[in-house]
Amino acid sequence: MNKSRLEAFTDGVIAIIITILVLELRRPEGGTFAALWELRHAFFIYFVSFATLAIYWNNHHHLFQAVTAVSGKILWLNILLLLCISLFPFTTSWVSTYLFSQAAAITYGLLMLTADVVWLLLSRALLEKHSQNSILSQSLQGSKKSAFSISIITTGLIIGWFWPPAVIIGCLVSLTPWIIPDKRIEQYMQANPEKNQKD
């Protein structure tokens, strides 16, 4: 199956989610900088969520440059990924209001963890669909990013059971290896432009 509709649908959904995310920001209860400062936690959580969505979109776009075909399994895993990230506006609004709430922070972290696990499953499904000589397989071989993110978020969840802000810190740290997408895809495609059509 062609990948173009999946990419277009994903782009549209993420754009809508980012729009909803900013609409969830509350305005200051007054016209002073002190009132704006009262919302510092809300802006911090908004930044974490926005960065998460931006990194997911960036890496999704980058990854699918090397994809030549998709299957029904891949379509459903991509939908499941979108389901996870579509809940970010809800959890962002909750945890920004109750940053030190165990329930709010744990829910936020579990959502991030679930999205990371689904991303890992999606990556593996894509590898199953492509040959070992494909751009995708050659580029993603040996990647440890998902394992790092999942372990960091899990650690944050454990500590966050006793100190909730640790969950948010863990989520933020887990984003660091994803800020720059794996350059091997770009390098491999530039070195082997003919394989982009063949594999």
Whole-model pTM: value is 0.88
* Residues 3 and 74 sit within 8 Å (Cβ to Cβ): no
- Both tokens of 6, joined, read 């999946």
Task: Quote the strand ranges of the chain, DSSP E.
Answer: none
Per domain, the residue ranges of the chain are: 4-198
Instruction: Give the SS3 label for residue 99.
Output: coil
Residue 195 confidence (pLDDT): 53
pLDDT tens digits for the chain (199 residues)? 678 899 999 999 999 999 999 988 888 888 888 888 888 889 999 999 999 999 999 999 988 988 888 999 999 999 999 999 999 999 999 998 888 899 999 999 999 999 999 999 999 999 888 777 777 777 777 678 889 999 999 999 999 999 999 999 999 999 999 998 777 777 766 776 655 544 4
